[in-house]
Structure 1
């Protein structure tokens, strides 16, 4: 595109009439003024010392320093699997071992962070900041996804008790706010458990997030199941498969493929919903930010702290969105 083409495009789209010309000039002025104000504040006015001094608290909270090697090993495992996954998606070469690798890495990472089985235990009360946010979000996603699939299958079951139990659970949970479920998990869950079973606040928070997310995932999966033509089921019957194999090998894979955008959107929402855990006393990313702002030397540094926290949330949410888009492109979702 040469200079003449650019001038023609500007005249056609931005300066074709006198009022469009005025509107364009005003918008450009506002954009320049806004950008100048923002960069001036970022570079010369904002006091980023609050981030530099408390970076450790933001990332790992009060996690013991002598155990930092566990976090580095966990990051190495995640980065290794992520690089292999991205490579597989880019080259469009399926790797049948990737799901197994992710499945095995999950309990290994939890074991490294939490300790036990030969490692010194790390008190979950010391899991704070971004570390706690990631642990609770990933754990809730991993547990709620199969639970949501089971609820979706149960809602379509022909068994009266199973179908109505699933419908009752889904409708009750979807009718309650997440913060209410978190309070129920923190206060009521210990009362219904046997005396010899105790759950710390982290596990109770994960339980609340999981129960809430599973109900919404169930509806997403149910939408995918209903989008599969009846002929797919009849074709499975024709080749001699029973109902269980038809659902597991034919119907469910197609249904999950169809609702990948909705599932990823639910996962992103769940990741951001972890910020509500600060209300029930857990110092995840938002909770640790409030603790940092309570320090006398960093009072009223709300803009710097919450901009940094918002950036962290955006990085992880946008990364999930990019992976989802790459997966949709590889699977040709939305194309006939």
Structure 2
């Protein structure tokens, strides 16, 4: 048999070669992300010039020329006179934030009872963190504790009047505490209620559909300020004589109803994006309506509208500052309320307080946004990369 020369056949795989130097490194990243086109280059240069013009004065205002300690406005005035900022642009008065920090967090909640607010916050974080981490087991039990048990415990801790705890009326609540309570209740109520309203609007039963449409379009047609005003001022006028309930509770109901109407439209958009074949496939398996929605349609629809859901949550978190108009003081309201303190009345105080409040709002909103992106990537199983 004739032998063939196999010397040209490779006996082993070629070792991996490093990427070309022109396609790696910091220089490649700059070229691709900042100077990919002439227009990108021009915009990058303009952006760099803008940052170079604005960032140094901001750093000087926030850190270098700022006053960090003090007991009244005189400390900030002294720092302003010796600072490096031009006239009318003195450094930040962080001493004001330090002196009023507890009021920004708790409002006028009794000082000796503020441990109850801190304990509620710790329970909130301890129960929420496992829900947000996908690999932590027993999500069902965790959800029952967070959405079922925690609100009851938080109510007894914050309101008191039971188990030897001093009763604290809600007009004394304020600061970040009110912002978080309003946000938590609004988010926890608006998502399930929004799902029900979205399903009702797509229902084939005329009465159910009409009720959901009227509710959604009515609430979406008025600003939140009007809803809060109606819940706080007008609602008691329609109640029977002698029947009333707490103003803070009325605000909670107004915020939750308002957010649920917007959430319903977000979820309805996800339901409309599901192909008709998914509904028909579920029907062919003999699944009932609720089985079809719970097992087939809603998981896909909610995954598609995660950005819209989180966007509604972020908007709700920021809109809690509107309760200021009905005499309640959230974080922003507490900051603004302390501007009238004669001991801290100075040109530096309002700007510093508003920057602090804005930074706190940004931390929470940015955290929700980043977690939304994380969940989108985790649930993006429709296409293989």
Q: Which has the higher helix share?
A: 1
Q: CA deviation at 1:264?
A: 0.8
Unaligned segments of structure 1, at least 5 residues:
none
The answer to whether the aligner puts 1:201 opposite 2:247 as a matched pair is: yes
Unaligned segments of structure 2, at least 5 residues:
1-20, 66-90
TM-score (norm 2): 0.77
The answer to whether the 8 Å contact 2:128/2:146 transfers is no
Q: CA deviation at 1:130?
A: 0.5
Question: CA RMSD, aligned part only?
Answer: 2.8
Corresponding position of 1:36? 56
Distance 1:167 1:67 in 2: 45
Matches of residues 1-336 of structure 1 in structure 2 within 5 Å? Answer: 24=45, 28-43=48-63, 44=65, 45-86=91-132, 88-89=133-134, 91=135, 95-103=139-147, 104-118=149-163, 119-299=165-345, 300=347, 301-332=349-380, 335=383
TM-score (norm 1): 0.88
The answer to whether the 8 Å contact 2:321/2:331 transfers is yes
CA deviation string 1:51-106 (max 9, x = no partner):
011001101111112222222222222222233234x33x4868343322321323
Larger RCO, structure (CA 8 Å, separation 6 or more):
1
The verdict on how the C-alpha distance between 1:278 and 1:331 changes in structure 2, with shifts beyond 3 A counting, is same
Distance 1:82 1:165 in 2: 34
The answer to whether the 8 Å contact 2:183/2:320 transfers is yes
Distance 1:11 1:246 in 2: 50
Q: CA deviation at 1:271?
A: 0.5
Q: Which entry has the higher C-alpha Rg, 1 or 2?
A: 2
The verdict on how the C-alpha distance between 1:37 and 1:5 changes in structure 2, with shifts beyond 3 A counting, is same
Distance 1:110 1:94 in 2: 25
CA deviation string 1:163-190 (max 9, x = no partner):
1111111111111111111111111111
- Count the aligned residue pairs: 330
Distance 2:303 2:141 in 1: 19
The verdict on how the C-alpha distance between 1:233 and 1:8 changes in structure 2, with shifts beyond 3 A counting, is closer
Greater displacement, 276-285 / 31-40: 31-40
Distance 1:309 1:303 in 2: 10
Distance 1:146 1:159 in 2: 20
Q: CA deviation at 1:109?
A: 2.0
The answer to whether the 8 Å contact 2:61/2:92 transfers is yes
The answer to whether the 8 Å contact 1:217/1:266 transfers is yes
